[in-house]
Amino acid sequence: MEQAINIYRLGIKELRSLWRDPMMLVLIFYAFSLGIYAAATGMPETLHKAPIAIVDEDQSPLSNRVSSAFYPPHFTQPALINLPQVDKGLDAGTYTFALDIPPNFQRDVLAGRHPTVQLNVDATSMTQAFTGGGYIQQIVQGEASEFLAGTRSAATGPVSMNLRARFNPNLTQSWFASLMEIINNVTMLSIILTGAALIREREHGTIEHLLVMPVTPFEIMASKVWAMGLVVLIACGLSLIFMVQGLLGVPIEGSIALFLLGAALHLFATTSMGIFMGTIARSMPQFGLLLMLVLLPLQMLSGGVTARESMPDFVQMVMLVAPTTHFVSMSQAVLYRGAGFAVVWHQFLSIIAIGSLFFFAALTRFRKTISSMT
């Protein structure tokens, strides 16, 4: 009971400390409002304003027709250039696609000679290269056959495919980007708030003061975990409701409460991680580097940027130990696919297990290193 009271009071102290750092409050506010907005709206649709250039060596009605078939939002207004400019534009990254329509194109099409159109793709912009290539092929073929038939015949074979995207029918990027950014910020902030705060206490000598009082390392740690976890959880909840659902208008399929429960468990793990890192680093610059070293892989490899199944097996295995992996998959299931507890319970279990592991590892290290911290 006394322990619980100590944990509660030390936690209040953490909250008050944070309240005194107006710059930190501004940054937290930014991260969960404007930061989310920028990330959500800045990310283009997969094929959005793809920069395209056309070399029209035919100048026929058909080639004009092809040129005018490219327009925003999927493509930029095509730049009409000549052949020597193609390399330059691709080199500078001005265009991702350059379509070369050969001389006598229309004549050859009408004659059924299947003329060859060359499509140059800058394959260093991989995402666009893939999807854009397919789109452009379809458009060119479509225009040509329509021109031939006088109308655009739906060149349906005997079997058609009815493709439907579930959970995000129009594949709107901002739905995805906004939520992933929240998840990234939750992880980053919770690690910084606990880990850096521990280093700060150590650099200012206040940890020593705590240790002569009747409080245990467990209480000190638990108080940081709950207080900082709570701050991030509230910021995350508000951001989800007001920014994501409100301003960005992203429909959330599942239960926000369930998501927040998962986020709370996740915070238990990440705040413990932060403390663990705080016991390893000896100064703030070291902590900063350690933070980058941990944060980037957590962000890039837990399935929030690219899909997990495409990663090498080894990476997939290692990332199973990261709480973010389970958190990302839980969040996607709950928020996008409306999954209930029955579906995501095993992610919950994993996060709890990982969180406890980190918590006790951090506690052991904290106890061990605490005397050298003063």
Partner 1 sequence: MTGIIAASPPVARISGVSLHYGKTLALDGVDLDIPAGKMVAMIGPDGVGKSSLFSLLAGARAIQSGMVEVLGGDMADREHREGICPRIAYMPQGLGRNLYPTLSIDENLEFFGRLFGQDAQERERRIAQLTHSTGLAPFRKRPAGKLSGGMKQKLGLCCALIHDPDFLLLDEPTTGVDPLSRAQFWDLIDSIRADRPTMSVLVATAYMEEAERFDWLVAMDAGRILATGTAQDFYARTNEPTLERAFIALLPEERRRGHKPVEIPARASDNEVAIEAQGLTMRFGDFTAVDHVDFRIERGEIFGFLGSNGCGKSTTMKMLTGLLKATDGQAWLFGREVENDDMATRGRVGYMSQAFSLYSELTVRQNLELHAQLFHVPKDIIPARIQEMAGRFDLNDIMEALPDSIPLGQRQRLSLAVAMIHKPEMLILDEPTSGVDPIARDQFWQMMIDLSRNDQVTIFISTHFMNEAMRCDRISLMHAGRVLISDTPTAIVEQRGSAGLEEAFISCLQEATGSTAPVADEKDASDEVAPSPIPVATTAKNDASSPHLQVSPRFSQRRMMSYARRESLELRRDPIRATLALLGSVILMFIMGYGISLDVEKLPFAVLDRDGTTTSENYALNLAGSRYFVEHSPITDYASLDRRMRAGEISVALEIPPNFARDLRRGVPVEIGVWMDGAMPTRAETIKGYLQAMHAEWLSNMSLQATGARPSSGAVNIELRYRYNPNVLSLIAIAPAVIPILLLLFPAILTALSVVREKELGSIINFYVTPITRLEFLLGKQLPYVVLAMVNYVTLVLVAVFVFRVPMTGNLLAMTVGAFLYTLCSTAIGLLFSIFMRSQIAALFATAIGTILPSVQFSGLTNPVSSLEGVGKAIGTIFPASHFVTICRGVFSKGLGFVDLTHQLMALAISFPILLGACAILLRKQER
DSSP code for 152: -
**Nearer to partner 1 among residue 61 and residue 91 (C-beta):** 91
**Nearer to partner 1 among residue 260 and residue 316 (C-beta):** 316
**Nearer to partner 1 among residue 88 and residue 360 (C-beta):** 88
Least distance in Å: CB of 222 to partner 1?
A: 14
- How crowded is residue 276: how many other Cβ atoms within 10 Å of its Cβ? 23
One DSSP character per residue, 22-88 reads: HHHHHHHHHHHTHHHHHHHHHSPPTTSSB-EEEEESS-SHHHHHHHTT--TTTBPPPEE--HHHHHH
**Nearer to partner 1 among residue 35 and residue 323 (C-beta):** 35
Residue 303: which region, alpha, beta or left (left: phi > 0; alpha: psi -120 to 50)? left
Helix pair angle (323-331, 341-369), 10° resolution: 150
As given in the structure block, the two tokens for residue 227 are 């207080």
Least distance in Å: CB of 237 to partner 1?
A: 19
Least distance in Å: CB of 39 to partner 1?
A: 6
**Nearer to partner 1 among residue 130 and residue 242 (C-beta):** 130
Provide the Cα torsion 286, 362, 296, 316; round to 10°. 140
**Nearer to partner 1 among residue 74 and residue 354 (C-beta):** 74
Least distance in Å: CB of 272 to partner 1?
A: 18
Least distance in Å: CB of 18 to partner 1?
A: 8
**Nearer to partner 1 among residue 84 and residue 307 (C-beta):** 307
Least distance in Å: CB of 151 to partner 1?
A: 14
Least distance in Å: CB of 104 to partner 1?
A: 13
What distances in angstroms separate CA 240 from CA 182, 199, 270, one per listed residue? 8, 31, 19
Distance, in Å, from the CA atom of 223 to the CA atom of 327, rounded to the nearest integer, reads: 23
Provide the Cα torsion 55, 60, 65, 71; round to 10°. 30
Distance, in Å, from the CA atom of 97 to the CA atom of 133, rounded to the nearest integer, reads: 8
Q: Which long-range contacts (CB under 8 A, 24 or more apart) does 117-121 make?
A: 120/86, 120/90, 121/96, 121/97
Least distance in Å: CB of 37 to partner 1?
A: 7
